[in-house]
Structure 1
């Protein structure tokens, strides 16, 4: 069932399907909840309830004009309010890209709401910062995205040719269709403009409490944006059990490029966690 819910004054589009332990799936840029279609099908079939929102600024959710509205803590509060609305005390978090950044913060600051944490591609913010020059080189686009108007023109030029050739998104036609609206493209970049200002790329992120939930990090070998150290280094910030998995031959959107492998890892991890609880 797809519904629209007002959370903290922002309308959020969310799909809620299946029965069983709740799994909250958080996408990143430039996606929407449809990114998780293969995982939702597998999780529902295995006896899990899936809750998949469009993050504010993306998909069919509201797109505030104020860049500050896209700060990570605003998105964390959205997820807590969503769980409250659906009367879910705690959920298993499964997250990718910017959704993973939100999930790391939520697991650190609201441990009572997080039964387990699975992050794809993006590791703990302090591990990301510690990944060094190799990661900074891959993050060149974060600086470009700060320049309002210039970033929008670079991405959208020639029917989004730069986006298509740089990102190699498996769903590039669908992504481009959503971002052709200049307001949608501008809003989507709010995630970068609110959270990774240039000075933040050269300074350590704020300290977060250690992650208490059982945690799995998954990185794919052909990721164009993240290096492996940003994920493997996350172990140092997890007090609960830690598991690392590597998906060979898949790019940044591994859940689309290697869905069977990702689904197998996810179900194995969730089943092991729920069996212990």
Structure 2
């Protein structure tokens, strides 16, 4: 059984779900628009395998603090929260796992603080390949003006759309039904908003129950969407801040997992990055692409994800590896 509590880390309050095994600490970082609840299948499985598992509602989400300033959501702040969480738990080292936006947090945590994070797993989003320019600027230069990252930039616009009917928003974004082409959903049609391409009247997928959806909906009704959207509003700033790590590698043991039908890795850029993982991850242990799975891979296919994570974390924390 997992427990919940609020812990002070990096100067803010973080709500965490925790299941304390006797083994090494594992921190699970969720993405957008999600919560620590997204790891509901992994927390008990990893704890049963002996790990001390902690999954926070990330900064700006759920019951954790949501600073008002957009600049408070840079990659340094997000990694700082994970570092602070490890310290607040009284640990010197941890292994870190991230999905969606939580994956860049996990990758950068391993990149910035190899002294703390001894192993890293990323789900759905490949590790950082710092490109030749600011991402949003490059989109504009390429003639793209309607990518969803761009739609999320103006404070209040996406919030207004998503908060008008939170239950509908979560049913469409997480449920993923009514999407004829998931890749097309990443581009916002003029006047239709982010959700205009989809309908909310189809049944939920088997992996997402009405109770699950109600949990997400209740939390986002209370928190709103501003905090999570502010992560997107730091995309260009993060490119600037990470200049010292240009072409740097993450040398800890690493694992990558994604669904074969995930639009993040099926597009031209995503597919190229998945094919070139070893450029950034010289100690990549496995690259697992799960047939039939989409973007919410740890919720869609928990048994396969859990088995892969347990195997990886056990190997990475073997007696020959440094442990806390």
User: What is the deviation of 1:157?
Assistant: 4.0
Q: Which has the larger radius of gyration?
A: 2
User: What is the deviation of 1:233?
Assistant: 2.4
Of 148-157 and 67-76, deviating more is: 148-157
TM-score using structure 2 length: 0.75
Contact 1:70 1:194 in 2 (8 A): yes
User: What is the deviation of 1:152?
Assistant: 1.6
1:37 equivalent in alignment to 2:40: yes
User: What is the deviation of 1:195?
Assistant: 2.5
Give the whole-Å Cα distance in 1 for the aligned partners of 2:167 and 2:264.
Answer: 18
- Structure 2 CA distance for partners of 1:111 and 1:251, relative to 1, 3 Å: same
CA RMSD, 1 decimal: 2.9
The alignment partner of 1:118 has SS state of strand
- Structure 2 CA distance for partners of 1:79 and 1:158, relative to 1, 3 Å: closer
User: What is the deviation of 1:147?
Assistant: 2.1
Of 95-104 and 226-235, deviating more is: 226-235
Aligned partner of 2:228 in structure 1 is: 188
The alignment partner of 1:262 has SS state of helix
Give the whole-Å Cα distance in 2 for the aligned partners of 1:39 and 1:190.
Answer: 27
User: What is the deviation of 1:163?
Assistant: 5.1
Pick from 199, 209, 215 the counterpart of residue 248 of structure 2.
209
Cα deviation digits, residues 147-166 of structure 1 (max 9, x gap): 22221233234555455334
Aligned partner of 2:314 in structure 1 is: 271
User: What is the deviation of 1:184?
Assistant: 2.4
Cα deviation digits, residues 228-257 of structure 1 (max 9, x gap): 433332221123344211011111111111
User: What is the deviation of 1:173?
Assistant: 3.5
Unaligned stretches of 5+ in structure 1?
none
Of 220-229 and 14-23, deviating more is: 220-229
1:244 equivalent in alignment to 2:287: yes
Contact 1:232 1:244 in 2 (8 A): no
Cα deviation digits, residues 67-109 of structure 1 (max 9, x gap): 1111111011111111111121111111111111111111111
Contact 1:18 1:50 in 2 (8 A): yes
Contact 1:218 1:231 in 2 (8 A): no
Aligned partner of 2:192 in structure 1 is: none
Pick from 289, 292, 296 the counterpart of residue 253 of structure 1.
296
Cα deviation digits, residues 29-79 of structure 1 (max 9, x gap): 111111111111111111111011111100110111101111111011111
TM-score using structure 1 length: 0.86
Give the whole-Å Cα distance in 1 for the aligned partners of 2:87 and 2:317.
Answer: 21
Aligned partner of 1:12 in structure 2 is: 14
The alignment partner of 2:279 has SS state of helix
Give the whole-Å Cα distance in 2 for the aligned partners of 1:268 and 1:226.
Answer: 23
Pick from 142, 153, 159 the counterpart of residue 149 of structure 2.
142
Instruction: Give 1:55-66 correspondences, 5 Å limit.
Output: 55-66=58-69
- Structure 2 CA distance for partners of 1:209 and 1:85, relative to 1, 3 Å: same
Give the whole-Å Cα distance in 1 for the aligned partners of 2:276 and 2:27.
Answer: 24
Higher helix share goes to which structure?
1
Cα deviation digits, residues 191-245 of structure 1 (max 9, x gap): 1112257x96xx9x73163101000111111224443433332221123344211
- Structure 2 CA distance for partners of 1:129 and 1:44, relative to 1, 3 Å: farther
